[in-house]
């Protein structure tokens, strides 16, 4: 039995300690925001925050996570009351199929948490590991820029 | 000042037209059409064969690696080079008249390469490896000159060096040269094949492999009596290439050719860190030269091999797993799916990073992954900086060493993990 702290709540998880966090989030805890993309830490669809830093939940075994703070997209806001970053994604309509977006938002959140006003270049560099197969990158960068206080439509 | 976007467009149009002209009437006439005078001292534009040879030699010498900054124009310099004495900035070696080497004669270029001295008599820092280049034939140096002088001039000034006192005083370099700069020409060894001799000439001369793979003394000079016995480069350990090689599987000529040209060999691992641009350069030159380099290096590595800890013996596996159950779980959850169960991951018993004399490289790879360089489509291994704590990383490193090598445990794994993680304390997994 491993106790995981997810979005400020403690969960006692009965799973093999080698199980990737992603499977536990989705299969055991019903937190379906993070997505399974490649399962190899290459695409970023599964990105969550661990102790405030973006991590690939698909290659992180839960054995590594006792006593650490995990944050998923469900921990940011709700449908009725989205977080500023989520609202920025809505305002910029920064999703096509939407599969990568939870990961994109969580990676961006890690940046904004330590630097609320990153430059466009810093945003691009930081977001580089996450992939979007629909090609919505321009809107995604605009959404992160908007959340970072840049005027709408500004080049991220 | 940079040109405005509009004039930049016109300049680009001009460049394209010049390139087209070059295609039609040949390089020489093309450069003349672009209105450029031939390099000083040559009188005429060099012929195509000489330029092509210079391109190959410049790739072997890795000129572009230091003389190009991230995202900058090739050979335009400005790349910061961290040394124990402070930060140097590489210079612009495009033929720009003001900021590059456009006014250098072939003789000036020879003197810089072989004596470490600029045309104005200024001493050059030995981060520019003239201790190796001094051993290069003049004919080859002239070919590199011809190649560089036919590149597009880029107007770009180099930032001033930021060296700690007293190292900013260039006359000190003259003293350094008296003490450590005694280049000897490479005379062919008649008992060896011409291929081996060609390889030695490239490795010990232009290729300056020893600049990273040979240890340096306190004054930054290579310890010539420990040639290619392992050194340091940009925070990575450059493994020994001589009989001290720790490769579990002996390097063969073929495996070296494959590794040097593709950056990957399944029996040794992936080229990473400062070796990546080297293998990329070697991918683009004629194979014969890479093979010559391989023949020479393989002969140095000799018989040294401990043999792979072949997926370890069953007993050893059971022992390490029982000894360090927590690390075994981390390994099984994070590493095994690629390294033990697919054809794409390097089996760790083959990895030089696992058998190396220091844990530096394996810690870097676990922490930050194999990050893609410019133009690579994706990473081949993610970093685990945010997945694992420093303690977990250290546990895992010790576990992998015990499970996948016959070598003694590393010392100070924790300190090395702490040092590497402190370089980018808030960088996320990438």
Instruction: Look up the CATH number of the domain holding residue A108.
Output: 1.10.150.120
Query: What pLDDT does residue B321 have?
Result: 64
State the average pLDDT for chain A.
95
Whether A116 maps to a domain, the answer reads: yes
Residues B199, B115 within the same domain: no
Which domain CATH number covers B399? 1.10.760
Query: What pLDDT does residue B370 have?
Result: 87
DSSP codes of every residue in B205-238: TTT-THHHHS-B-TTS-B-GGGTTS-EEETTEEE
Whether B330 maps to a domain, the answer reads: yes
Residues A56, A111 within the same domain: no
Nearest CB to B428; choose among A18, A40, A110: A110
Residues A115, A141 within the same domain: yes
> For the stretch A102-138, what's the b/e string if a residue is b when 16 or more beta carbons lie within 10 angstroms of its beta carbon?
bbbbbbbbbbbeeeeebebeebeebbebbbbeeebbe
| Residues of B (294-323) whose Cβ lies below 8 Å from A | none
**Contact of B158 with B78, CB cutoff 8 Å:** yes
Q: Which residue of B has its CA nearest to A50?
A: B386
Query: What pLDDT does residue B302 have?
Result: 72
Best mutation target among A61, A66, A131, A155 (most B Cβ atoms within 10 Å) is A61
Using alpha carbons only, how large is chain A's radius of gyration in Å?
A: 15
CB contact under 8 A, A59 and B387: yes
Using alpha carbons only, how large is chain B's radius of gyration in Å?
A: 24
Residues A68, A25 within the same domain: yes
Nearest CB to B382; choose among A20, A51, A59: A59
| Residues of A (83-142) whose Cβ lies below 8 Å from B | 107, 110, 114, 126, 128-129
Residues A70, A128 within the same domain: no
Whether A153 maps to a domain, the answer reads: no
Query: What pLDDT does residue B123 have?
Result: 96
What distances in angstroms separate CA B171 from CA B81, B129, B177, one per listed residue? Answer: 20, 18, 10
Alpha-carbon torsion angle B13, B18, B22, B24, nearest 10: 70
- Give the span between the Cα atoms of A75 and A133, in whole angstroms: 25
- B385–A contact, CB cutoff 8 A: yes
Best mutation target among A115, A129, A130 (most B Cβ atoms within 10 Å) is A129
Query: What pLDDT does residue B427 have?
Result: 52
Whether B308 maps to a domain, the answer reads: no
Of A155, A147, A151, give the one whose Cα is nearest residue A104. Answer: A147
Query: What pLDDT does residue B4 have?
Result: 41
Query: What pLDDT does residue B248 have?
Result: 86
Residues A66, A97 within the same domain: no
Residues A88, A71 within the same domain: no
The fraction of chain A above a pLDDT of 70, given in percent, is: 96
Which domain CATH number covers B271? 1.10.760.10
Of B246, B266, B301, which residue sits at a domain end?
Answer: B301
Residues A93, A70 within the same domain: no
Residues B342, B403 within the same domain: yes
Of B254, B271, B301, which residue sits at a domain end?
Answer: B301
**Contact of B404 with B348, CB cutoff 8 Å:** yes
Q: Which residue of A has its CA nearest to B383?
A: A41
Of A26, A52, A75, which residue sits at a domain end?
Answer: A75
CB contact under 8 A, B428 and A59: no
Bridge pairing between strands B86-89 and A9-13: unpaired
Helices (H), ranges, B26-184: 27-33, 48-60, 63-66, 106-115, 130-133, 138-149, 171-180
Residues A71, A16 within the same domain: yes
| pTM summary value | 0.88
Residues A39, A64 within the same domain: yes
- B376–A contact, CB cutoff 8 A: no
| B230 min Cα distance to partner chain A (Å) | 32
Whether B323 maps to a domain, the answer reads: yes
Residue B127, φ and ψ in degrees, nearest 5: -60, -30
CB contact under 8 A, B379 and A40: no
Structural domain span for residue B279: 194-301
Whether B430 maps to a domain, the answer reads: no
**What's the domain count of chain B?**
3
Residues A15, A71 within the same domain: yes
- Which residues on chain A are in Cβ contact (under 8 Å) with B375? none
CB within 8 Å of A129: residues ≥ 6 apart: A44, A107, B379, B429, B430
CA angle centred on A115, ends A112 and A116, rounded to 5°: 60
What pairs with residue B264 in β-bridges? Answer: B270
Whether A155 maps to a domain, the answer reads: no
- Summarised one tens digit per residue, pLDDT across range A52-80 is 999 999 999 999 999 999 999 999 999 99
The helix (H) or strand (E) run that includes residue B360 is helix B360-368
- Which residues on chain B are in Cβ contact (under 8 Å) with A61? 329-330, 332-334
Q: Which residue of A has its CA nearest to B369?
A: A41
Does A9 score more than 60 pLDDT?
Answer: yes
The fraction of chain A above a pLDDT of 90, given in percent, is: 94
Nearest CB to B332; choose among A18, A41, A42: A18
Whether A22 maps to a domain, the answer reads: yes
Residues B173, B224 within the same domain: no
Whether B394 maps to a domain, the answer reads: yes
Residue B379 token pair:
């990473």
Whether A154 maps to a domain, the answer reads: no
Of A75, A108, A134, which residue sits at a domain end?
Answer: A75
Residues A62, A105 within the same domain: no
What distances in angstroms separate CA B15 from CA B11, B29, B30, B74, B148, one per listed residue? Answer: 6, 14, 11, 16, 17
What pairs with residue B126 in β-bridges? Answer: none
Residues B335, B279 within the same domain: no
Whether B294 maps to a domain, the answer reads: yes
Residue B162 token pair:
């930021």
Confidence of residue A99 (pLDDT cuts 50, 70, 90): very high
Structural domain span for residue A114: 84-147
| A21 min Cα distance to partner chain B (Å) | 10
pLDDT digit string (tens) for chain B, length 430 residues: 333 444 444 445 555 554 544 444 455 555 665 667 888 767 788 899 999 999 999 999 999 999 999 889 999 999 999 999 999 999 999 999 999 999 999 999 999 999 999 999 999 999 999 999 999 999 999 999 999 999 999 999 999 999 999 999 999 999 999 999 999 889 999 999 999 999 999 999 999 999 999 999 999 999 989 999 999 999 999 999 999 998 888 899 999 999 999 998 888 888 889 999 999 999 999 999 999 999 999 999 876 555 565 545 545 555 666 667 889 999 999 998 888 877 667 788 888 999 999 999 999 999 999 877 766 766 578 999 999 999 999 999 999 998 888 889 999 999 999 999 998 755 555 4
**What's the domain count of chain A?**
2
Whether A24 maps to a domain, the answer reads: yes
Residues B33, B119 within the same domain: yes
Of B79, B172, B72, give the one whose Cα is nearest residue B122. Answer: B172
Query: What pLDDT does residue B250 have?
Result: 87
Residues A93, A139 within the same domain: yes
**Contact of B390 with B417, CB cutoff 8 Å:** yes
- B338–A contact, CB cutoff 8 A: yes
Which domain CATH number covers A11? 3.10.20.30
Of B245, B268, B301, which residue sits at a domain end?
Answer: B301
> For the stretch B376-411, what's the b/e string if a residue is b when 16 or more beta carbons lie within 10 angstroms of its beta carbon?
eeebbbbbbbbbbbbebbbbbbbbbbbbbbebeebe
| B422 min Cα distance to partner chain A (Å) | 14
């Amino acid at each position: 039995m491993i106790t995981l702290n997810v979005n400020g709540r403690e969960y006692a998880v009965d799973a093999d300690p080698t199980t990737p966090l992603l499977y536990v989030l989705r299969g055991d805890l019903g937190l379906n925001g993070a997505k399974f993309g490649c399962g190899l830490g290459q695409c970023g669809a599964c990105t969550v925050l661990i102790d405030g830093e973006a991590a690939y939940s698909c290659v992180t075994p839960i054995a590594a996570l006792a006593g650490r703070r995990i944050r998923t997209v469900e921990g940011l806001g709700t449908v009725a009351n989205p977080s500023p970053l989520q609202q920025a994604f809505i305002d910029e309509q920064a999703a096509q199929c939407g599969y990568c977006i939870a990961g994109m938002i969580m990676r961006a959140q890690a940046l904004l948490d330590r630097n609320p006003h990153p430059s466009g270049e810093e945003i691009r560099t930081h977001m580089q590991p996450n992939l979007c197969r629909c090609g919505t990158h321009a809107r995604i960068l605009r959404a992160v820029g908007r959340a970072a206080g840049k005027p709408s439509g500004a080049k991220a | 000042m940079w040109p405005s976007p509009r004039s930049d467009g016109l300049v680009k149009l001009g460049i394209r037209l010049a390139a087209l002209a070059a295609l039609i009437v040949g390089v020489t006439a093309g450069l003349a059409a672009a209105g450029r005078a031939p390099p000083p001292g040559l009188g005429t534009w060099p012929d195509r064969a000489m330029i092509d040879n210079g391109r190959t030699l410049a790739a072997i010498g890795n000129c572009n690696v230091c003389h190009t900054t991230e995202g900058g124009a090739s050979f335009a310099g400005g790349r910061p080079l961290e040394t124990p004495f402070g930060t140097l900035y590489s210079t612009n070696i495009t033929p720009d008249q003001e900021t590059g080497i456009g006014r250098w004669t072939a003789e000036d270029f020879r003197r810089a390469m072989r004596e470490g001295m600029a045309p104005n008599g200024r001493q050059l820092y030995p981060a520019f490896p003239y201790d190796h280049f001094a051993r290069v034939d003049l004919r080859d140096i002239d070919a590199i000159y011809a190649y560089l002088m036919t590149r597009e001039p880029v107007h770009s000034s180099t930032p001033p060096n930021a060296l700690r006192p007293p190292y900013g005083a260039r006359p000190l370099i003259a003293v350094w040269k008296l003490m450590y700069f005694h280049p000897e020409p490479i005379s062919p060894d008649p008992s060896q094949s011409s291929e081996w001799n060609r390889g030695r000439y490239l490795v010990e001369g232009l290729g300056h492999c020893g600049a990273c793979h040979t240890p340096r003394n306190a004054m930054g000079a290579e310890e010539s009596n420990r040639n290619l016995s392992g050194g340091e480069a940009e925070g990575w350990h450059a493994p020994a290439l001589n009989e001290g090689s720790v490769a579990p599987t002996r390097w063969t000529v073929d495996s070296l050719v494959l590794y040097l040209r593709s950056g990957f060999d399944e029996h040794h691992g992936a080229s990473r860190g400062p070796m990546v641009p080297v293998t990329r350069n070697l991918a683009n030159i004629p194979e014969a030269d890479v093979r010559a380099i391989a023949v020479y290096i393989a002969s140095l590595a000799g018989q040294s091999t401990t043999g792979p800890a072949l997926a370890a013996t069953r007993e050893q596996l059971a022992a390490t797993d029982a000894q360090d159950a927590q690390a075994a779980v981390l390994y099984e959850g994070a590493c095994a799916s690629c390294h033990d169960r697919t054809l794409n991951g390097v089996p760790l018993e083959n990895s030089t990073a696992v058998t190396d004399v220091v844990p530096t490289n394996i810690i870097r790879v676990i922490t930050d992954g194999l990050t893609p360089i410019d133009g690579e489509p994706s990473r081949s291994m993610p970093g685990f900086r945010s997945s694992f704590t420093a303690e977990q990383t250290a546990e895992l490193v010790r576990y992998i060493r015990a499970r996948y090598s016959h070598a003694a445990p590393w010392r100070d794994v924790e300190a090395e993990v702490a040092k590497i993680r402190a370089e980018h304390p808030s960088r996320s997994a990438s």
